[in-house]
Amino acid sequence: MSRVRGKVVVVTGAAGGQGAAAAVALAREGAHVIATDLTPPALDGGAAGDDGRITARRLDVTDASSWADLATWLRATHGQVHGLVNNAGITWRARLAEVTGPDLARVHAVNLTGPLLGIQHLTPLMGPGASIVNIGSAAALTAHHPVAYTTSKWALRGLSAAASLELGPRGIRVNTIHPGFIDTPMTASAPDAFRTANLAQTPLGRSGTVDDVAPLVVFLISDESSYITGAEIPVDGGYTAHRGAKPVSDAMRGA
Ligand code: NAI
């Protein structure tokens, strides 16, 4: 119950879905989690483990002044930060012919500029051993059709790679998790056809849960992953690993 004991960890988009699960999992393992979202997350700090606790704060990841306020508060209250989980994200399901520049800007502001601002504002408070986890997507490894979302997540891979290079000499690690289809409010808002089509491409044959992802967040924030940086790890039931071969494999099984 103490894999991240004493670490101060900021989680964005922690009001629900994967962010809430990550925040609770980190607190259970002893972290002091600063759980942030557009409205301060109402999370059960009672579930926290030894020394673990959750403090809720408002943070709009697109707003530099919101990050500056958080950094000022963290400096005054804790003096340092050991972890950042850039989890906040939005989708927009317009396809190539319909997507607009403003759509692209709005989605990139949350999914790409948000993590950039977080890294810029919090790394001055980080020392050797600190860890940043960016939440990408299987969309960042494929030709996922919602253009604004997919381009934002591909770009986040670039940011993660550049940040892991830049911050390595300071002993700060940067890794990316690529979830597949995970049951959260985000996927609940998609048509049923989206779920069915995703599961058909998933070798494990089921959707993921937030508890499939949160343990990896804990591992990457913890010192157990101290030599892992610049890595991209899918948590997708094998969705991206077969690279399009599953329909052929399925067809040939009975042929
Ligand atoms: P969700 O919609 O349940 O949670 C996203 C959270 O981000 C919400 O609480 C929302 O209020 C917050 N948020 C949105 N804009 C914000 C802003 N400007 N500032 C601060 N917080 C903001 O979605 P879910 O599924 O938990 O997503 C978490 C991350 O996982 C996202 O980055 C998403 O793109 C990614 N992801 C999700 C997948 C899934 O199947 N659910 C698959 C692949 C990636």
Write the single-letter amino acid at 161: A
Q: What is the pLDDT of residues 45-93, one digit of tens each?
A: 655 666 789 999 999 999 999 999 999 999 999 999 999 999 999 999 9
| Interatomic CA distance for residues 129 and 45, integer angstroms | 25
User: In the structure, what pLDDT confidence band is assigned to residue 187 with cuts at 50, 70 and 90?
Assistant: very high
Tell me whether residue 239 is one of the annotated catalytic residues: no
Distance from Cα 75 to the centre of ligand 1, integer Å = 27
Give the residue among 28, 19, 2 at the shortest CA–CA distance from 56.
19
Please give the share of the chain, as a percent, with pLDDT higher than 70. Answer: 97
Contacts of residue 116, Cβ cutoff 8 Å, sequence gap at least 6: 159
Give the residue among 178, 159, 147, 135 at the shortest CA–CA distance from 22.
135
Query: How does the average pLDDT of the chain come out, rounded?
Result: 97
Distance from Cα 128 to the centre of ligand 1, integer Å = 28
Which residue lies with its CA nearest to atom 4 of ligand 1? 17
- Residue 180 CA: nearest ligand 1 atom is 42
Q: What is the pLDDT of residues 91-135, one digit of tens each?
A: 999 999 999 999 999 999 999 999 999 999 999 999 999 999 999
Query: Cα-flanking dihedrals φ and ψ of residue 81, to 5°?
Result: -130, 135
Extended strands (E) in the chain: 8-11, 32-37, 53-58, 83-86, 131-135, 173-179, 232-235
Distance from Cα 82 to the centre of ligand 1, integer Å = 22
The response to whether residue 185 sits with its C-beta less than 6 Å from ligand 1 reads yes
In the prediction, which pLDDT does 254 show?
85
